[in-house]
Amino acid sequence: MNWQTVCEGLSATDRYCASVEVSGVEYDSRRVRRGDVFVAMRGEATDGNRYLEAAIAKGASAVVTDSREAYERLRREHVDVGTALVERGRRALAEVSSAVMGHPERDIALCAVTGTNGKTTTAFLLEAMLRSVGRKCVLIGTIETHVGEEVRVSPHTTPESRDVLEIFADGVKAGATEAVMEMSSHALEQERVWGLPVDVAMFTNLTQDHLDYHGTMEKYFAAKARLFVGVGAPAPRVAVINGDDGFGRRLIGENRQSHLMRYGLETLSGDYRAEDVQLHAGETRFIFKTPNGDAPIRSSLTGRVNVYNLLAACCAALARGLRLDEIEAGAASGAQVPGRFEVVPSSHDLTVVVDYAHTDDALRNLISLARELVSERGGRVITLFGCGGDRDKTKRPRMGRAAGEGSDLVVLTSDNPRSEDPMMIIEEALVGVRETAVRCIVEQDRAAAIEIAIHAAKVGDIVLIAGKGHEKVQILRDGTVPFDDGAVAAGVLREIA
């Protein structure tokens, strides 16, 4: 593709349309190949403009920069390189990537889900429903990325726009017509999803998280709300919003452009509701009530929180044209979501569950579900958790309080401490635990803590290993090491057997 053609769709304040051909896009100079456009932008951690010369040395045919100084230097010293000056580097990255890759976002119907909790499960459920009627899908989320039948590792919940568009392009080549994405508040705020036309937008809930980045709940909510007005694209055609959530009700009140589908368990909160809810270990049943008919829903997912996730996915599936009977079949076909109330296989009567719960609200929901499951057999809830380092510190005592209020025994340990001292993090969480009367064991070493929690359990108890879920590493001050909660727990269970 000629650089001049790319420039036609670029919101640039100045440009030099050298007659060069471009074949790819990169924002990391280490990945640049001959013929690429290098988009240099100022980010949170570094400034891509520091690597212009390295990108050109590797063969970049054109450069987009958000620095006037860099742009003028390029015009003087590299007259054979196409150049463009932009105000917002991330927007330019999306525009250039879309043009060079042939606008794959136009050939795929996108459903996007945002919220504090439930994004991953809702995305997996919706993809399962779409696939159950023969539609090929792209899935982009926290745990993994799907391109048709191919499964890839997800380095981020929501990647940069260039990477999203490349996944979409691969999906279109594989015959995909649908895409389901988790959209994090960071990605919406930073405009990593700029220009993506969302057909169906879903909102699960909003509870305290990421205040280390957003600062206040109002700013956190404002970032999530951007999905429903469009980020460099029109507002979604359909907005699927949890009417039982306070912030969801605010979104409903502010909705002016999208067709609204309110869901919930409370009669006044949802036009799409769950009635006659039956919760059992390994099974959830309810009647999906809609303005145009009802459907019995059965899923292998467990707990009240998953009723909400199922409702969101059912509504989005309806919006994408599935019939009620197809949604019923699709919900029943949904597989276990890795690291979301994932029961560790065991040869004896000890129940050990790995879950990603890493906020006080998610931890409270998880413990409440476990309490329901053990109540009939008189068992106890043993909760192991930790708090992440270099993240919102204010939620640490809140998590401690949530764990202590619902559990019979708490094992407090390290999560991903990152650059912080693990024991300092534990001490901050311990403040909340001490506000309750629960017995608490502190063990910094997570593997040893898992062993302690499982050995403390008796038949009829549930051991909850919370915080890391699907993750396969632990991030420490000195680097990243392999660590899998499920694998460590399985090893302890084998030793006991």
Is the per-residue pLDDT at 24 higher than 70? yes
Residues in Cβ contact with 491 at an 8 Å cutoff, skipping those fewer than 6 apart: none
Q: What is the pLDDT of residue 269?
A: 67
Q: What is the pLDDT of residue 111?
A: 98
Q: What is the pLDDT of residue 373?
A: 86
Q: How far is it, in rounded angstroms, from Cα 14 to Cα 67?
A: 11
Burial of 130 (0-12, 13-18, 19+ CB in 10 A): buried
The dihedral through the CA atoms of 97, 95, 122, 429 has a sign that is positive
User: Locate tokens 């009700």: which residue?
Assistant: 249
The number of CA neighbours under 13 Å toward the Cβ of 337 is: 28
Residues in Cβ contact with 202 at an 8 Å cutoff, skipping those fewer than 6 apart: 111, 112, 113, 114, 115, 122, 240, 241, 312, 315, 316
Backbone angles phi and psi of 49, in degrees to 5: -70, -15
- Which of 453, 464, 469 shows the shortest CA–CA distance to 416? 469
Angle at 28 between CA 64 and CA 102, to 5 degrees: 60
Q: Of 324-328, 330-334, 353-357, where does mean pLDDT reach its minimum?
A: 330-334
* Residues, the chain: 497
Residues in Cβ contact with 149 at an 8 Å cutoff, skipping those fewer than 6 apart: none
Q: Of 49-63, 135-149, 261-275, 351-365, where does mean pLDDT reach its minimum?
A: 261-275
pTM assigned to the model: 0.86
Tens digits of residue pLDDT in 343-398: 898 877 789 999 999 999 899 999 998 998 888 778 999 999 999 999 999 999 99
Query: Residue 423's pLDDT band (boundaries 50, 70, 90)?
Result: very high
Is the per-residue pLDDT at 16 higher than 90? no
Is the per-residue pLDDT at 283 higher than 90? no
Segment 15-25 mean pLDDT: 89
Q: How far is it, in rounded angstroms, from Cα 316 to Cα 113?
A: 10
In the structure encoding, which two tokens stand for residue 241, read together?
A: 């919003």
Backbone angles phi and psi of 109, in degrees to 5: -90, 120
Segment 165-188 mean pLDDT: 96
Is the per-residue pLDDT at 238 higher than 70? yes
- Which of 111, 96, 107 shows the shortest CA–CA distance to 10? 96
- Which of 325, 337, 319, 322 shows the shortest CA–CA distance to 298? 325
Beta strands in 159-269 (DSSP E): 178-182, 198-203, 238-242, 259-264
Q: What is the pLDDT of residue 214?
A: 65
The average confidence (pLDDT) of the chain is 93
Q: What is the pLDDT of residue 268?
A: 67
Q: How far is it, in rounded angstroms, from Cα 360 to Cα 330?
A: 31
* Annotated binding residues for ATP: 115-121
Tens digits of residue pLDDT in 112-165: 999 999 999 999 999 999 999 999 999 999 889 999 999 998 877 789 999 999
Query: Residue 235's pLDDT band (boundaries 50, 70, 90)?
Result: very high
Give how far Cα 4 sits from Cα of 10, 35, 99, 364, 401, Å: 10, 14, 11, 55, 59
Query: Residue 437's pLDDT band (boundaries 50, 70, 90)?
Result: very high
Is the per-residue pLDDT at 211 higher than 70? no
Q: What is the pLDDT of residue 366?
A: 93
Query: Residue 330's pLDDT band (boundaries 50, 70, 90)?
Result: very high
The secondary structure element, H or E, covering residue 222 is helix 217-225
In the structure encoding, which two tokens stand for residue 383, read together?
A: 């909760």
* Annotated binding residues: 29, 115-121, 157-158, 184, 190, 192, 391, 415-418, 467, 471
* Annotated binding residues for meso-2,6-diaminopimelate: 391, 415-418, 467, 471
Segment 259-264 mean pLDDT: 96
Give how far Cα 319 sits from Cα of 37, 193, 199, 312, Å: 38, 21, 9, 11
Segment 41-47 mean pLDDT: 82
Q: What is the pLDDT of residue 154?
A: 84
Segment 464-487 mean pLDDT: 96
Q: What are the structural domains of the chain?
A: 3-100 (3.40.1390.10), 104-333 (3.40.1190.10), 342-496 (3.90.190.20)
